[in-house]
Amino acid sequence: MAEKKPFEIAREALMKLTARKLMPTPLNYQAVYNEIAGTPDVAPFPEDALRKIARALPAKTTAQATQKELLDGAIAQCNWQSVQDVLVAYASAGTANAVHRSADTRADSPRVSFQAEFLVPVARLIENALPALGSDDARFSEQVGQLLKVMRDPLADMPKVKSMLGNFSHRLSFAAEDQAEIMGTLLKLLHLVIENIGELGLDDNWLKRQIDALMVAATPPLTLRRLDDLERRLKDVMFKQIEAKGRALEAQEDMRRMLATFIERLASMTDSTSAYHSRIEESARLMEQAKSIEEIGPVLKDVISATRGIAHDIARVRDELRGMREKVNASEMEIDKLHQALNAASTQARHDQLTGALNRKGLDEAMARELADVQRKESPLCVALLDIDNFKKINDSKGHDTGDAALNHLVSVTRENMRTQDTLARYGGEEFVILMPDTALEKGIDAMTRLQRALTRRYFLAGAEKILITFSAGVAQLVASESGEDAITRADQAMYLAKRAGKNRVLGA
């Protein structure tokens, strides 16, 4: 079921308020809205009620008056923790110690200012860095928790904070070194795995391209995107290697059976030949002892019969051996075809054969990875769809070979001007899609405009003739709950408008 959009939830909330005969107050509306959206119904901060309580509190002493001022500030900030701290300080404001502490907790005091402007951001920085350090060390996690609690206390003891920060910094250096060493060791192990896959391959030439690509992908600096690409490539190589190895083992088994049959036939042939020689020798002996032509006749018949038998055996074995040789040749050809197909698949499965850019399948996988990044990091993603202007005219007047060269020229210039994190894919014909992560709409339009300028500086040569290659492009920034294909569709519509507006333009969707 598709997720409801905010305006749909709002409309349904108003309808339910009417159906339930409830007053359309902010509280009633928020409760119904949260009920429909499936979000927690958290009560709003009771600012008005707390202000009435603050006004009712007496201010008989200077300390109480100070705490009342601090309470007003905490209510204005809607900060429950500050409200609680001030009320506790107000309750003990009658003692001298409380008077001293209240002076330190004034909103304009140096301590509160320092805590708000320095310690709280540092605490947030430490908290954001914790996931990178792991959670294996329970003692270190406990130490960090205590430090964060002290740093967020408006009445924190600064010498204590300084001491705890020093201990944390010391322990942090060890934790960072451990993480760096772990990453380096894992990277070495990964390189060993890749190298061993290459060594175990049945054909090093077949695996060389994939192994080289894996090594490049596993070279620092590593990013989540590069690791995703590395995982995909590694799975592809392992799958193709297992498939080729299985087929090669089948061929080896066929060869083993053929060799066993050959040995069996050879042994049979040896037995037949030995029997034939024995019969010939016996016939020669009988012919030497014969005294008349009548005695020689039966011996000749036996010789002819034995000769025919051995000739039949030889012909049968010859045919079997010829059949086995044909099977061997067929197996070798099949293995060679398999290697060629797998080698082609390693580059063609996700890449366009002509330009080397990603094809539609490769684009779908890249889009899925970018969408996952967008959801994880809540970062912007721009999708650009560009179409070469007057490409049909180039094909018709210069030929398809020139058109293909023009596509490769565009891809070459685009790659020179892309960032390493950007993705280029051939969408179809002369259309290309560029994925630009961490890029807002205006920046995406600027990037496509810079690419247009780069193309004007790099003429395409068709023989000795210079041809200016231009393109029209549409750029769309992915919006919430939108699929990648929907974003491409919006970019395509903007590109069409750019064509209608005179070509060689970039428009945002």
349 pLDDT band, cuts 50/70/90, is: low
Does the pLDDT at position 332 exceed 80? no
Cα of first residue to Cα of last residue in the chain, in angstroms, is: 27
CA distances from 386 to 144, 363, 406, 439 (A): 50, 15, 14, 17
Q: How far apart are CA 215 and CA 188, in angstroms?
A: 11
- Give the pLDDT score at 365: 87
Helix ranges, 349-502 (H) = 360-377, 391-398, 400-417, 441-457, 484-500
Cis status, amide bond into 221, omega within 30 of 0: yes
pLDDT mean over 158-181 = 74
Q: Among 21-25, 190-194, 386-390, which is the least confidently predicted range?
A: 190-194
Does the pLDDT at position 110 exceed 60? no
> Tokens 């006004």 identify what position?
55
Does the pLDDT at position 475 exceed 90? yes
SS (H, E, C) 122-188: HHHHHHHHHHHHCCCCHHHHHHHHHHHHHHCCCCCCHHHHHHHHHHHHHHHHHHHHHHHHHHHHHHH
- Give the pLDDT score at 219: 67
Whether the Cβ atoms of residue 126 and residue 148 lie closer than 8 Å to each other: yes
- Give the pLDDT score at 205: 54
Tell me the pLDDT tens digit for each residue of 371-397.
Answer: 888 888 888 999 999 999 988 888 888
- Give the pLDDT score at 468: 87
pLDDT mean over 485-506 = 91
pLDDT mean over 212-228 = 62
- Give the pLDDT score at 319: 74
- Give the pLDDT score at 407: 92
- Give the pLDDT score at 344: 58
Tell me the pLDDT tens digit for each residue of 443-453.
Answer: 999 999 999 99
Give the residue with greater pLDDT, 163 vs 250.
163
Q: In the chain, what percentage of residues exceed pLDDT 90? A: 15
Give the residue with greater pLDDT, 7 vs 345.
7
Tell me the pLDDT tens digit for each residue of 287-319.
Answer: 667 666 666 667 667 767 767 776 777 777 777
Give the residue with greater pLDDT, 478 vs 112.
478
CA distances from 306 to 215, 280, 462 (A): 68, 8, 78
Does the pLDDT at position 186 exceed 60? yes
Tell me the pLDDT tens digit for each residue of 25-71.
Answer: 777 777 887 888 877 666 667 778 888 888 888 877 767 777 777 78
100 pLDDT band, cuts 50/70/90, is: very low
To the query of whether residue 485 is one of the catalytic residues in this protein, the response is no
Q: What is the mean pLDDT of the chain?
A: 75
Least Cα distance to 311 among 269, 282, 266 occurs for: 269
Whether the Cβ atoms of residue 475 and residue 382 lie closer than 8 Å to each other: yes
Tally Cβ neighbours within 10 Å of residue 159.
Answer: 8
> Tokens 């992908």 identify what position?
217
Determine what percent of the chain falls in helix, strand and coil, rounding each to the nearest 5: 70, 10, 20
Q: How far apart are CA 145 and CA 132, in angstroms?
A: 16
Distance of CA 152 to the CA centre of its chain: 38
Does the pLDDT at position 238 exceed 70? no
202 pLDDT band, cuts 50/70/90, is: very low
Q: Among 302-311, 334-343, 357-366, 435-444, which is the least confidently predicted range?
A: 334-343
Q: How far apart are CA 503 and CA 391, in angstroms?
A: 12
102 pLDDT band, cuts 50/70/90, is: very low
Catalytic residue among 69, 250, 430, 485: 430
* Strand 460-462 versus strand 431-437 pairing type: unpaired
Does the pLDDT at position 190 exceed 80? no
Which residues 6+ apart lie within 8 Å of 369 measured at CB? 225, 228, 229
Does the pLDDT at position 364 exceed 80? yes
Where does residue 131 rank: exposed (0-12), middle (13-18), buried (19+ CB within 10 A)? exposed
Q: How far apart are CA 252 and CA 109, in angstroms?
A: 85
Q: How far apart are CA 467 and CA 460, in angstroms?
A: 5
Q: What is the pTM of this model?
A: 0.41
- Give the pLDDT score at 98: 43
Tell me the helices (H) and strands (E) count for the chain, helix number first: 18, 7
The helix or strand, by DSSP H or E, that contains position 316, with its residue range, turns out to be helix 293-348
- Give the pLDDT score at 480: 82
- Give the pLDDT score at 82: 76
Q: Is the domain 360-508 a CATH 2.90.10.10 member? A: no
Give the residue with greater pLDDT, 32 vs 328.
32
CA distances from 371 to 311, 482, 486, 509 (A): 75, 10, 12, 19
Sign of CA dihedral 202, 206, 212, 215: negative
pLDDT mean over 15-20 = 82
Q: How far apart are CA 20 and CA 38, in angstroms?
A: 19
Does the pLDDT at position 341 exceed 50? yes
Which residues 6+ apart lie within 8 Å of 46 measured at CB? none
- Give the pLDDT score at 99: 42
334 pLDDT band, cuts 50/70/90, is: confident
Q: Among 101-110, 171-180, 370-379, which is the least confidently predicted range?
A: 101-110
pLDDT mean over 66-86 = 77
* Strand 431-437 versus strand 381-388 pairing type: antiparallel
SS (H, E, C) 322-337: HHHHHHHHHHHHHHHH
- Give the pLDDT score at 444: 93
Structure tokens at 35: 């009920």
409 pLDDT band, cuts 50/70/90, is: very high
Structure tokens at 113: 């200012």
- Give the pLDDT score at 443: 93
Q: Any idea what DSSP says for residue 5? A: P
- Give the pLDDT score at 506: 93
- Give the pLDDT score at 342: 58
- Domain spans of the chain, in order of start: 6-37, 255-347, 360-508
